[in-house]
Structures are given as structure tokens and as C-alpha cells.
Structure 1
Amino acid sequence: MGNRQPRPWIVSDELCSLVEPLLPKPGPKKAEGRPRVPDRQALPGNLFALHTGIQWEYLPQELGFGSGTTCWRRVAAWNEAGVWDRLHQLLLNELRSINRLDWERAVIDSSHVRAAPTGPKSGFSPVDRAGPGSKHHLIVDGQGIPLAVSLTVGNCNDVTQLVPLLDKVPAVVGQVGRPRRRPAALLADRGYDHDKYRRLLWQRGIRPVIARRGEPHGTGLGIFRYVVERTIAWLHGFRRLRIRWERRDDLREAFLGLAVCLITHRHVRRLC
């Protein structure tokens, strides 16, 4: 028999050692009943749902994850406690400590996903025959390492998320001196073409490199912008993120945050 494919939902000891200190301590049980499923079992269940896109009620309990209800409640609680934001910053700190973050330029873009149920941060999309959808907004460094991600309604204008997404980039430490959270330049396509936002970038000390509407293609930005498109493809490599099945926006944001951490952790393992 051939070699079996690795199971991506298995949490390595290395990753678990990073996550476990960040998890909130469980409170006392309010009533007697079944013992609490350990976090070490619930975390792979969430990774399984993220990788496969399976519905919570069909989560295979024979793999030891606990019930689907347990897993989605746990991932929502962890997201509310800021676990994924703190884990992401720890990983970025590690990359900066060895000078592996490219702050010379950052690249911003978005992708549209169809929303099966309607809910917060889902709306009628102009790119999907007015069907319900959401947008994933992403900013990456010059190599494609995720710096921040956000979720909005499907008909959200991309340029309006430029400043909020920049504000979500954490203050990254790891070297002597002040924390770093601003790239030297920001690259974007024509969807971000607006002089107001160019001025806002200059005010923050960031050089805007944004394609202008009405000008012919072939600006040369593609050789730098492809990294964000590649990272978006990595995000959508997680089947759970290809279609929004969650009515609750916090659950969707939890999966986005978890996926960003996994992608960043891959870079840490490759570069460190």
C-alpha cells in the first residue's frame, strides 16, 4: 500500500505548546454531568471542520473530538478571548526576531465568498447575481505572510476597509527598538484607487502604490501583488472558508483567524 496522506487536523506538540498557554481557563461546572472535553481534543475537531468543511452535526466523534456542539462553542469562546489574535502575533514576533518579515511593502486585496445562510456581515453581492455573500479582506507582507484579516458584507467597497485593516496589523516585536506595524509601502489594485486614501496612507508614513482606473494594464504591479492572491488561495484551500455556512459572524471570524494562524505557522516552520 502507498504512503498515507498526513492528517492536517492533527495538532503537533509544537503548535499545541504555543496554543495551550493562550486558552482561557475553564470555569467551574454549573451542573453535574459528563466531564468536560479537554481542549487538546476539541482543537483538532475545529481543525477537522476547517480543513474538510464538514457540518458540525456530522463531526466524527469516533476520532475523539467531542461533539460538534462542544467544538463550535469552544472555538467561539477562544475567538472571543482573542486566542487567535495573540497566537498570530506570537508567530509574527518569531518571524521578526530572525528578520524574516518583509516590511518594505505590504499588499492588500479581498475575495468574495457565497453565504449559504444570511446573517451578520453577509449581504447582497454585485458579483454573484445579487446573492448573499461576504468578503474576506487580507493584508500580507512582501512575501505573502498574513498580517491581518477581516470579514465584511459582500457589497462592501474594498477601499473603505483599507484603513481598518491596517489598524488590525499588530505591533510586532522581536528586535531591538520600537515594535513594527507599518510597511514602507502598500500595494493595491484599482479597487483601492481613491486620492483620499492615498493621502491617509502618506499621513501614516506609508507610500501608496495603487493602480489607477482608466490607465492601461501592464503597470508591473502584478509581479509584487501575486503574493496576496496566493495567500487568498491558501485561505480557500481550507474548505470551510470557500462558502460561508455560519450564520454567526463571530464563528466565521474564528475560522478566519485560525486559518491565518495555520498559514503563518507554516512560514515559521519553513523559515525558522
Structure 2
Amino acid sequence: MILEVQAGTLIKRYKRFLADIELTANALVNAKQTTIHCANTGAMKGCAEPGDTIWYSTSTNPKRKYPFSWEITQSQANHFICVNTLRANQLVEEALNQGLIAELSGFSNLQREVKYGNENSRVDFLAKYQHAPDTYIEVKSVTLLDNDYGYFPDAITTRGQKHLRELIDMVEQGHRAVLFFAVLHTGINDVAAAGHIDTNYAKLLKEAQTKGVEIIAYKANFSFKQDQLTMSLSKKIPFIER
């Protein structure tokens, strides 16, 4: 995935969807403050500290009130974090279609946002194989780094708990079910369930593993060339219990 981005400095994030930044001065613009859109409704712990460098994209849609979208945080520890939650599924789809996820290669058809389960859900991806069970893939974006460890979730998630129940049901019906962690933080090298944040999610995830739900985690690579950002899911990392 390639994005055209510009840099600024975070002043504050507020109302979940908005952030104020100071634009970086260049030949075209003097340094000034502006408001940008934030497509992340989560807690964003450690990803939105005042003074962090913010990389934002620009929309050409004239109807948008805020044309700038917060894409990447470059933390003061020099970690790169993709905070735009829309990018996780896009990166996973790109990696799947390019055959970069070995555990999920060889499918004959890949569908997005397919209705499934007993709780009115939509699975992120449904991979169909000619000689293997249908595979239901639920994607979660991981950005929480806590005491040098990566965790999911970063807040209590009843929606995430529902998705785990749905994946368990798919396994019990004879399908294959995968929880895919897209790790979008360069400082994270393994992932664990954040039982200290959402005890119920951690317990349900352990149950899901026991019942046959697979857990796969891949880490994103970030590469900058002038104002062009390239991201890809390039490295498998372990899911562990803590």
C-alpha cells in the first residue's frame, strides 16, 4: 500500500474523531494549526501523545469538512504506528491476494464483509478453497504497546467478544476460522490477549483457541521516501500467553 502523506505535530486529540495538529512548514505552507479527521474510535493508548509527529493524507473530496486524515503516528520513541483502522483490512486483503500469508494461501475466491453467524455479524474475509473448508477470517488491528509487549484489545470490546463467539460457531459447523492480528506498530514483536484490560475477551480467546480457532499475527513494515509512505504486512510474529 502506498500513500501520499505530509507531516505535522500533534497538539491534542478530542471528540474521538478529531485532532488538532501544527503543520510542518515547507516551501508551500507556513507552519500553522489545523484540525484533521481521526478514523480511530479506540483508546489509542500510547499512539496520541502531544508532541508526536503525525503523518496525514489529503482527500480530494470537496464535500469533506476536514480534508486531512490521520494515518501514522511517529512516537517520541521513534515507533511508527498506523492509527487509521481502515488500513488494517486493506493491508490484509493486499497480502492475501499477493500470497504473502502462507497460512491462508491457495484460495480460489476471496469475499469481503460476508454475513455470517447467529449474532448478526459480518466477517471481514471469507476465503473459499476447492479442496478445503471455507475459511472465515476476522481481522483485528493491534497498536497497543505496554511495557515492551503488544496487546489486544486496548479497551473493553463487546464487539470483539461477539466475533470470537461467531468464529467458535464456524469451527463447530465444520469450517475453518481465523483470528488475524494485523500488528501496525513497529515496536511490537509479539501479541497477547490484554487480560488486564478486558478479562472476558482474554478468557473467550483462550476458549476459542481450545475449540480450534486459529490465531495468526503479522507485523507491518513502514517505508518512507520523501512524502510517500509504503506499508505492507511482511513478517509473522508469535501470539503468546502472558
Would the TM-score normalized by the shorter structure come out above 0.5?
Answer: no
In the superposition, the TM-score normalised over structure 1's length comes to 0.26
In the superposition, the TM-score normalised over structure 2's length comes to 0.28
More strand by share: 2
Give 1 or 2 for the bigger CA radius of gyration.
1
More helix by share: 1
